[in-house]
Structures are given as structure tokens and as C-alpha cells.
Amino acid sequence: MTKSSSRKTPNFDTEKAHASIRSGLGMGILMLFLGIILVIQLSKGIKNINRETIFFGIILIPIMLAQGGMGIKLIVDGMSVLVKKRNWMKGTASAQAEIVDREAVITYSSNYESEDHYYGLTLKTAHIQATADSGGQIIKASVSKRIYDKYAHRKYARIFYCIADPFMFLVQGE
């Protein structure tokens, strides 16, 4: 009989990292657009300096610098997560795992104001032996809805596991 365990998940939230990069790029494009407007307004103001032009520049420049800095920070934070994941992936081995069960649970609060989602795959992996005579280890893996849907009709999933700790792995696409 095979034993069931839970996997350890490396701390790489790539969906959040991609969202961070997109937000940072959006802020950068917005700041570029505002910068062009500012340059046009200031070039008009050099010929005819008035209070509105000075006020516009004094207010907008610090806001643009702060927003631009936040945009750069979002991009750097998102990229650092992706680089950490890439470096971790370089030290992994891959294996094919059989999907033996799927689980999708939605739990509502008592007053139906909030809900909690859980999506999981139960995988049988041959890279970890439960006992000498077993065919592999059964591991429960909590996954995102996107990954759950991706593997909804598949029998196998490719996993990338840490060689030093085979219970720490990512399902392909995470």
C-alpha cells in the first residue's frame, strides 16, 4: 500500500510576478505620456511664464517621479521572482507523475459573504519510493485554478522537483 504525503511548494508566485511587471509597465507608459504633456506645457510656459504653468510643473514633477519609481520597483520585484524561479529550476530534475485524483472544493462562510477555493491534484510519483515494493509515492498537491483546469482531462503531469528534497516540486506551468 502506498503512503500519501503533501508536497512542499517553492515560494514562487509567478502569476503575481507577471501582474507586477504588467502594472509597472503600465505605470511607465502613463508616466511617459504625462512627461510628454509636461514637456509640451513647459515649452509653452518658457515663452509665456504664468502661474498655471509653474503650478502644473511643481505639482506634476514629484508625482511623476514617485509613480515612475513605483513602476520601476514593481518591474524589479516581478523580475526578481522570475529570476529566482529560473535559478531554482536549473537545479531540478523532472519526472512524469500520474494524476490519480482531482479535487475542487469551494467553501462558503456562514453568511455567504466570502468563499474559499481549493484545487488539488493527487499525483503518483515514481521518483520517490514509498516502500521497496511500491510503484511510487502518492502526493497531494494544491494548485491554482489555472493549473487545475490545464490538467483536468490529462492522465499525467510533468513535475520539476528539487533533487535535495523530492517532496518540493512544481507542476509544469506553475
Q: How far, CA to CA in Å, does 107 sit from each of 110, 146, 162?
A: 9, 18, 32
pLDDT at 137: 83
Grid cell 508616466 — which residue? Answer: 31
**Distance in angstroms (rounded) separating the CA atoms of residues 31 and 66:** 10
Residues 6+ apart with CB under 8 A from 46: none
From its phi and psi, is residue 112 left (phi > 0), alpha (psi between -120 and 50) or beta? left
Q: Which residues pair with 170 in a beta bridge?
A: 160
Cell of 127: 521518483
pLDDT at 4: 66
Q: Is the pTM of this model over 0.75?
A: no
> Residue 158 in contact with residue 23, Cβ under 8 Å?
no
| More confident site: 28 or 107 | 28
pLDDT at 2 over 60: no
pLDDT per residue as tens digits for the range 119-148:
999 999 887 765 455 556 888 888 989 999
> Residue 113 in contact with residue 105, Cβ under 8 Å?
no
pLDDT at 135: 58
**Distance in angstroms (rounded) separating the CA atoms of residues 52 and 41:** 10
